[in-house]
Amino acid sequence: MSEIIENQTAREERLKGIVQRIEGLPTLPTILAQMNRMMLDPKTTAKDMAQLIASDPTVTARILKVVNSAFYGFPSRISTISHAIVILGFNTVKSIVLSSSVFDTFGGNGSQDGGFKREDFWRHSLACGAAAKVIGRHAGEAALEEFFIAGLLHDVGKVVLDHGLREDYAAIRTDVKARGILIREAEEARLGINHADVGGWLFSEWKLNRGLVKAVACHHNPVLADEHMKAASIVHLADIFARALQVGSGGDDQIPPIRQAAWDAVGLKVEHMTDLLRETELEIVKASVFLDFVRA
Amino acid sequence: MTEPTFAQTAENLREQIQDLLALEEASRRIQTADGIGAILAETGAALQRIVPKAGRAVYLRTEDGIDFLCHLSAGASGVPGSLISLPLDVVDWVCQERRHSMIPGAGGRAVALLPLLVGQEVVGLMELSLPEGSGAGEALTQKLLAELQYLCGQSAASLLNAVLKARVEAERLALERTGAFLNDILESVNHGILALDPEGRISLVNQNAGSMLQVEAAELKGKPYREAFGEDFVRLLDSLVEQVGVQGFAMDQQLVRKELDGAELSLGIGGTPLMDAKGHPVGTLVICRDMTASKELDRLRALDQMKSQFVSNVSHELRTPLTSIKAYTDAVSGMVTDDTAKHFLKVVDEEADRLLGMIEDLLNVSRIESGKFRLRWEDVDVRAMVQTILELSRVQSQRHNILTSVADAVPATVPMDKNKMKEVLINLVNNAIKYAPDGGDVTVAVQMEEGNLRMDVTDQGMGLSAENQKKLFQMFFRTDQAQASQIRGTGLGLAITKGIVEAHGGAIRVSSEGEGKGSTFTVVMPVRSSAPQD
């Protein structure tokens, strides 16, 4: 136990060193900052929030596209943001705005040497989000989209690193190819930290909710997520499901082993595995509207 | 947006604390409410406080789990006692996604539909109808949604509890009714019943057993049977329990008890293993029968046998003197020349014949009853037989028009007992004549029907009521009409006819449109390929 704590402290120091090297680290998008502030006031109405969102036509269009997509399958058309907020809740709309912002910031093509294909990366992310939603449902969880968003954004650290430390990351990709190792292992070897640390750090800087921060930061080692271990475990399993389904690519084409503690924390049954994978494939199709964020 | 001042923040906090306290109080009241109605009332009151201007309705899942039934409604679309009337696709979506929804309602109102969730299960729905002008966007704040969701959760958990409690109570009542019903059966059955557990304690005893064994049934329960009864009965039970244990049953044993009035009560006591639903033995069931009733039955059976024996013997004994009377009458009528004397002797002869016929009937009846009725099978020319009967009948009555027909399909010969079947036809034709005192047509029609020989004898006589048609073939039965018309008969002819037909493997039935409308007797018998060796 003490060793882990010591390691963590050392990691945090290393992490600080790494992120300081990153130039032009993306700051919290303004619209998200404003939404955060509004949501602190309990008297904020759906209409107030809708007025804020309406100031950004791109975000407005994206929200309406998502809420009317098969992802929510609402029986009638939702035509206004305030209607969307009323039906889907403030948090859901905020999540959509968050993913829209992340896609905007990191969505375009990254390094020009073409090693890190954004389209493949987001497809893997989408599959992981879909799997997280399905696993959450099987695990008896309620707020399923929060798992979706956590899955969708779990690898945000990879794009942050690719964006900010191009040369290092190009070398890491070369290592992955040459040595046939996991991208996480290559990151650890070269930087002493991995993309999960960076993603967690970014979301924590953006003052996003602790559950999301922990799920992203600990998706490779869920026992470190404290009270959010189940969420982190769900994302951990979802990441592996997405790799097993071979949808997109997370930077390496390997399937890491499932951590026993994560498996136990979620409480899935082996005999449900076929169902889970089939449902995930269906969920990927329903959620494909999110990929339009990148293409647009 | 400007930062709020300290005073504003403090005021906000104070308001929030008040709201939380009120919510907590509502939650407490919902949790402590007893029964679905009270929970719904408290939920309604809480809604009234949170959203005063909104109409509201609460729905619970129907027992089959398919639909939602409205239990409470005020200013919303729901009608208490009716199923939910909101668009089904929205209801389905709310249940599937387990999140609330908002749809346009009547008169510009916005309708919010919230699931009542316990864990993952949607136990009911809450409908809020928000008035015109306070559109959903303005009405619903994050705080209000959170409050509503909290309230829904509290209400859902309490309602589910109440529903389950009501269901358990209903099951308990049903079980109680079943128990009472089983007890009624136990106490109504004509036997004494005693259940012993594997340790020999009395686990159940009905009132009948108590009175048969002259003990107080209520005091026996739980006592070992060895301490509860007298020596003789304990010895009997010992052997009974042992037999049941060894061979799985125990034959009835006799036990005679002296009643208080000195009369003897004869009991037959038997035993069977007592099994539970899985077939495991859980004791011994002892059944005490009052043998008085079955002794009475034995006596009646013996009496009946005696009667049959008597009829059979007497008929034989009567026939001998009658044969002598006939022989001597015949001899004497050859000697006398006086016409009056001749006429008298003829009457004596005819009456002797009638008596002989009756004795023959009685003999047949006793043969049929005792199963000693034997057929003499031979191939019979049915057409010739019908012709004979026609001639006999014409002699019997000039007022009746006897018509016979035999279909071409009827084979030249049919195996049967010639004399007995002739008797059947004579009987039926005689009846047709007898019970049509005003004359008319009597038809005898013989035909084939699906491989069977069918003979119909139809008259235009007094007919039969539906009631009498049922009893007609019973021994000694005579219709009131026949008796009122002073038509003579013993009530044996049709019983014998039926016996003969049935001995041939056939059946006889009667049909009549009713009294005064004539009747048809139909005999149907299988045609065997050749006379059976009997």
All residues of chain B having their beta carbon less than 8 Å from the beta carbon of residue A47 are 135, 137-138
All residues of chain A having their beta carbon less than 8 Å from the beta carbon of residue B92 are 75
The distance of A94 to chain B (nearest Cα, Å) reads 12
CB contact under 8 A, A80 and B99: no
The nearest alpha carbon in chain A to B122 belongs to A142
Strand partners, B112: B102, B128
The identity of residue A142, as a single letter, is A
All residues of chain A having their beta carbon less than 8 Å from the beta carbon of residue B149 are none
Q: What is the ipTM of this complex?
A: 0.70
* Angstrom distance (rounded) from CA A44 to CA B426: 109
The distance of B66 to chain A (nearest Cα, Å) reads 19
The distance of B123 to chain A (nearest Cα, Å) reads 15
Q: How confident is the model at residue B121 (pLDDT cuts 50, 70, 90)?
A: confident
The nearest alpha carbon in chain A to B149 belongs to A89
Q: How confident is the model at residue B86 (pLDDT cuts 50, 70, 90)?
A: confident
Q: Which DSSP string do the residues of B396-413 spell out, in sequence order? A: H-SSEEEEEEE-TTS-SE
CB contact under 8 A, A46 and B140: yes
Task: Give the DSSP H or E segment for B526.
Answer: strand B519-526
CB contact under 8 A, A75 and B92: yes
Task: Kindly tell me the sign of the dihedral angle through the C-alpha atoms of B408, B409, B410, B413.
Answer: positive
pLDDT above 70: percentage of residues in chain B: 96
Residue B482 scores a pLDDT above 60: yes
Residues belonging to chain B with any Cβ–Cβ distance to chain A shorter than 8 Å: 1, 12, 16, 87, 89-90, 92-93, 97-103, 112, 117, 119-120, 135-143, 145
* Angstrom distance (rounded) from CA B333 to CA B340: 11
Q: How confident is the model at residue B110 (pLDDT cuts 50, 70, 90)?
A: confident
Which of B11, B141, B143 is the best mutation test for A, with the most CBs of A within 10 A?
Answer: B141
Given A50, A82, A142, which is nearest B98 (Cβ)?
A: A142
Predicted TM-score of the model (pTM):
0.56
pLDDT attached to residue B137: 61
Given B93, B112, B140, which is nearest A73 (Cβ)?
A: B93
The nearest alpha carbon in chain B to A42 belongs to B143
Of A92, A119, A90, A108, which Cα lies nearest the Cα of A26?
A108
Task: Kindly tell me the sign of the dihedral angle through the C-alpha atoms of B67, B95, B150, B134.
Answer: negative
pLDDT digits (tens, 9 = 90+) for B288-342: 888 877 777 777 778 777 777 777 777 778 888 888 888 888 888 888 888 888 8
Given A74, A82, A86, which is nearest B93 (Cβ)?
A: A74
Beta strands in B177-311 (DSSP E): 192-196, 202-205, 250-258, 264-275, 281-290
Q: How confident is the model at residue A133 (pLDDT cuts 50, 70, 90)?
A: very high
pLDDT digits (tens, 9 = 90+) for A246-293: 888 877 878 888 888 899 999 988 888 899 999 999 999 988 888 877
CB contact under 8 A, B142 and A44: yes
Cα A58–Cα A63–Cα A64 angle in degrees, nearest 5: 100
CB contact under 8 A, A45 and B141: yes
Domains of chain A: 2-295 (1.10.3210.10)
* Edge-to-edge strand list for the sheet holding B264-275: B202-205, B192-196, B281-290, B264-275, B250-258
Cα B277–Cα B282–Cα B283 angle in degrees, nearest 5: 135
DSSP assigned state of B105: -
Which are the contacts of A238, defined by CB distance < 8 A and separation ≥ 6?
A128, A129, A130, A131, A132, A135, A147, A151, A154
Domains of chain B: 6-166 (3.30.450.40), 191-295 (3.30.450.20), 306-370 (1.10.287.130), 377-526 (3.30.565.10)
Given A46, A80, A140, which is nearest B119 (Cβ)?
A: A140
The nearest alpha carbon in chain A to B114 belongs to A87
Lowest-confidence pick of A154-163, B46-55, B244-253, B277-286:
B244-253
* Angstrom distance (rounded) from CA B228 to CA B215: 9
All residues of chain B having their beta carbon less than 8 Å from the beta carbon of residue A39 are 142
CB contact under 8 A, A75 and B93: yes
The distance of A89 to chain B (nearest Cα, Å) reads 8
All residues of chain B having their beta carbon less than 8 Å from the beta carbon of residue A80 are 137
All residues of chain B having their beta carbon less than 8 Å from the beta carbon of residue A34 are 1
Rounded mean pLDDT, B435-446: 89
Lowest-confidence pick of A65-69, B50-54, B179-183, B488-492:
B488-492
Q: How confident is the model at residue B7 (pLDDT cuts 50, 70, 90)?
A: confident
Q: How confident is the model at residue A295 (pLDDT cuts 50, 70, 90)?
A: low
The distance of A208 to chain B (nearest Cα, Å) reads 18
Q: Show the tokens assigned to A283.
A: 């969920």
CB contact under 8 A, A88 and B99: yes
